Structure 1
């Protein structure tokens, strides 16, 4: 098997051709390598292979949803999860009566999701004392009947497919969601986007409506139906604000979903002063068609660490949706040119949209946007699904890395060492003729045989390492899968759809487990914090001093600031890695804070110290496969930072 890099210039500027060619030659020199063809590549890098914790089922045996509760409790399929400043997780899920779901025919009323369930998990306790079954304690979401009365028989408001992101002071903003009648029944009605938002406060473990002091619910901005938001993306902006993209306003089963392509701003300062915090930035009719999302997808957005100025307009946010185009957005209210559409992701042998069912992230160096995997249901052999495509923000050129593993709906998680963990993946549906009969391996595993493998992507060298399949689990984690970085630098793997047999498991898999990356098993001493109290206060542009008497840290990437992850639908709405400059003076570290709030929007973070790992002891000479591994490092446990 060959891992190769190919450059595709999609820029309209002729003068960039020379730069792109030089970049391609450099990348090719780094990334071309002959690898063993026997599919045991992970045996070449034992120092990179992590370990898997036990599988833990999720169930709800409380009387929160007493009607129809099965013996032993509801089965709980994880869909949304956000890391909290204390290292715990606020999770949102859908519960159902049976562990396995029938998608066609059979008893759908008992096997489809019924209830919206939110709860807090404590990873430190679960890692120390794993359990076969975790019985969750639901938190009242305070939004089942928002106006003080039931909106109708069988009708409920769910956090299912909402948007969410941390907004500072430990709080998590949840925007939109869905209202649906008789979700688990044959007479299920179309799903309607919600017009309001909620806040989760971990200090009291409660949700509250975004409302005035006298209890008036603040509605999101927009005209009529465009206040409704479902599959809506929410990300954190500088100055403590949040940017919200509408997604859909309605989902029906007899026709395409109804788009809401508008944008709005959430300003917590307005809420503090008892004003409606939502303001319209872009109306649906003023948006661009390149932002249309496919059913079951989110648009993925990131704040650029250095805004791009094009034709006298400065753009702060990059968005990708079904079309595969990178769309730049200016979030300044007075902007005269709101959007700038860049070239689309190379489509390869796929004639369809190259932004469908992808994972999207900012490179750890902050110079590139990375699009990983994806595919359209009818394109089983689409080569987009096995690629990582890098869009260079300065050169305005695409270059592509063949990862060797096809993944629709992959997850991408930046680790504190500055590399990306790629995991999960699988199709959401397949034609009947492509399905396996009952009792056979899952159709997703048959057609995408390596989606249970994890990989490490080194974005500095444009190289991907296959670390082999996860243990003790033959099933995939596709749609709704997640991989969330923990405070102790392990990774929570959960949720996801698996097409086992003719029908499948799910709604979503009702289980979680922890992945321990390579660095948690190396022999070198892991950096340990001195007497440092949390939270650590940090101000943009100013240094801080903390005690540290451990081993030397890495010269580059020795201190890393990580945003609190907020995962759903293969996309982390709040992922960010910021390496910080530092100086060591005896038993003190002087750490330089980020220079501005575009590099790191203000709010809550985790701070990691990163020292050398066992990879530093590898021989400098040897087979090319070994020589490709540089020392990514070994991180400490994270410390909560409040950046102002």
Structure 2
């Protein structure tokens, strides 16, 4: 049913009948067809039964109707968004400042009034509609499969939207980003609540998930069987630690005082060949601690770890002091550089884990040989200060920064930054991208997908002590069991049409060892490729993705510290930076 309402001269509004609503459900765009006539140069539209949650610049009481609110907005300088409260008869003029958090939700009490925004997709990219999931995706990883990946697994805790205590089981969702198919499963056979773990991918494609709420546990996911198996307990129980794959195929982890006791969380290493953990007494956690007003349970969390040559690990943060960790023998630690004058806990930028102002700082750290000093370059600032944001390296070498908030407040959407930024390593500058629909703050994550797009999802989760505890005090408005997919500017021509891609038609080998040469077949009728690149498939949680790595190719590097063993995307890239659809490629040690 469609009906017309006529009010003042020059104003006509068409409102489509609403379908069944779910109060508080986020939407990326108006779910019903609406239109309004242009007023004062602006083409206002109305979205019935929805609200824009966020700061109101003005509140105009005794407003008789939605149409009157349109008129009030049109008469207010700079007003491009307003919300009419049909119950209280208030017209809310919304702030239109760039980056202001305004989340669109379904709510029959309100009507949203807005001027539709258009973005140059060739410069700012484009977001998909929301992908709704049965759980909050606090952690995620891409499932390796040949000839190209199609699935991502995400998980929360024992609850789809709740966590707390060591339950012994975890809620997972399986999202096929090619077909859109989504399913849910409970993983209990490994007796492991995997909330707040370390995640790394092994040479054989298995994903190793360590610690978390069941702080001593190790679980393996095998993509060949789509099943989980139980691994050996770590020597030190940990939660909120990080881990990284090493040049020899082992896995190193350090820190993690969120669970399993506090302090003394020195490094240890897992050897897949022996299926054993070994404590490295010389890999002392103390040098890499931040200084946090909440103490040690926050100071050794989420280390920025990068596996490098000869079994070494470069620790780039979150402490302002950077270090080399050695994993041979009893382990070692050596100072490498000082990155900044402040720590940067949990993702990109802030000194303390919670209740701390973020900053806009950005740095490039260059490393060469293990145990040698690193070089740190401070580059231009981001446009926005961000706590709890995520970063993804793209096939063309740029880096997409999504989400975050100017002051860290765990489990909130407060002042969430919706506008992503794209860092160009050649110009060392950031460019603003098209805004997301949803704030992605604490417990959000992002991953590169095989078609060169980026998944961004999650945020929220409520602490309720244990599965039997009451959830009455949970703020569900900040729970985001969904995600969006971003198509970067390199996927579009200047006129907004899809850019032509190179096409890999044949890959004679799907597995090769470091130093090998290999050939591939390209479609001559497709866009020519001018370069090739391997990007390691990612795994992310709590703003950390130690698996991602971009390696430009002429041949495979002959050092497994540069080209860590495991599964990669293989992209062909055009002269304009447009990537092909990726093929799956596995790097082995032998």
Is this a same-fold pair by TM over 0.5?
yes
CA shift for structure 1 position 401: 2.0
CA contact (8 A) 2:536 2:568 kept: yes
Which is higher, the Rg of structure 1 or of structure 2?
Answer: 2
How far the C-alpha of 1:258 sits from its partner, in A, is 1.2
Structure 1 Cα separation of the partners of residues 125 and 434 of structure 2: 10
Counterpart of 2:446?
A: 483
Task: Measure the CA separation in 2 of the matches of 1:506 and 1:234.
Answer: 32
Secondary structure, counterpart of 1:492 in structure 2: strand
What are structure 1's unaligned runs of at least 5 residues? 1-37, 60-75, 102-107, 145-156, 180-192, 211-217, 222-226, 252-256, 272-276, 308-313, 348-352, 360-371, 436-441, 582-591, 614-632
Whether 1:561 aligns to 2:524 is: no
Report if the CA contact (8 A) 2:379-2:428 is conserved.
Answer: no
Question: TM-score, normalization: structure 1?
Answer: 0.63
Local SS of the residue matching 2:345: coil
Residue in 2 that maps onto 1:624: none
Q: Distance in 2 between matches of 1:315 and 1:165?
A: 15
Which of 345, 352, 364 is matched with 1:356 structurally?
Answer: 345
CA distance in 1, matches of 2:257, 2:169: 21
The answer as to 2:154 corresponding to 1:175 is no
Please report the RMSD computed on the Cα atoms of aligned residues, expressed in angstroms: 3.4
CA 1:331–1:503: 2 relative to 1, 3 Å = same
Post-superposition offset of 1:429 = 5.8
- C-alpha distance in structure 1 between counterparts of 2:427 and 2:408, whole Å: 35
Matches within 5 A, 1:179-218: 179=214, 193=215, 195-210=216-231, 218=232
Q: Which has the higher helix share?
A: 1
Question: How far does residue 519 in structure 1 lie from its aligned partner after superposition?
Answer: 2.6
Name 1:426's counterpart in structure 2: 405
Q: What corresponds to 1:642 in structure 2?
A: 586
Cross-structure match for 2:504? 529
Alignment of 1:458 with 2:424, yes or no, is yes
TM-superposition CA deviations, 1:337-382 (whole Å, max 9, x none): x1112443323xxxxx5222234xxxxxxxxxxxx567654443x5
- The answer to whether the 8 A contact 2:141-2:154 is kept is yes
Q: Distance in 2 between matches of 1:197 and 1:513?
A: 30
Q: Distance in 2 between matches of 1:577 and 1:322?
A: 21
Change (3 A) 1:142 1:117: same
- Cα deviation for residue 603 of structure 1 reads 1.6
- Correspondence for 2:110: none
The counterpart of 2:327, out of the listed 306, 326, 331, is 331
Cα pair 1:484 1:566 within 8 Å, conserved: yes
Q: How does 1:260-339 map to 2 (within 5 A)?
A: 260-271=264-275, 277-282=276-281, 286-291=284-289, 295=298, 297-304=301-308, 307=309, 316-333=312-329, 338-339=332-333
Change in Cα spacing, 1:455 to 1:397, as seen in structure 2 (3 Å) is closer
- The 3 A distance-change label for structure 1 pair 141 and 201 is farther
Structure 2 distance, partners of 1:160, 1:506, is 21
Q: How does 1:183-262 map to 2 (within 5 A)?
A: 193=215, 195-210=216-231, 218-221=232-235, 227-248=236-257, 250=259, 258-262=262-266
| Residue equivalent to 2:335 | 341
Asked if the contact 2:238–2:255 (Cα under 8 Å) also holds between the matched residues in 1, the reply is: yes
Paired residue total: 445
Q: Name the CA shift for 1:95/1:265 in 2 (closer, same or farther; >3 Å).
A: closer
Q: Deviations over 1:580-627 (max 9, x none)?
A: 01xxxxxxxxxx1122101111121110110133xxxxxxxxxxxxxx
User: SS in structure 1 opposite 2:122?
Assistant: helix
> How has the CA–CA distance of structure 1 residues 397 and 494 changed in structure 2, closer, same or farther, with 3 Å as cutoff?
closer
In structure 1, the residue matched to 2:523 is 549
Partner in structure 1 of residue 556 of structure 2: 593
- The whole-number CA distance in structure 2 between the counterparts of 1:429 and 1:388 is 18
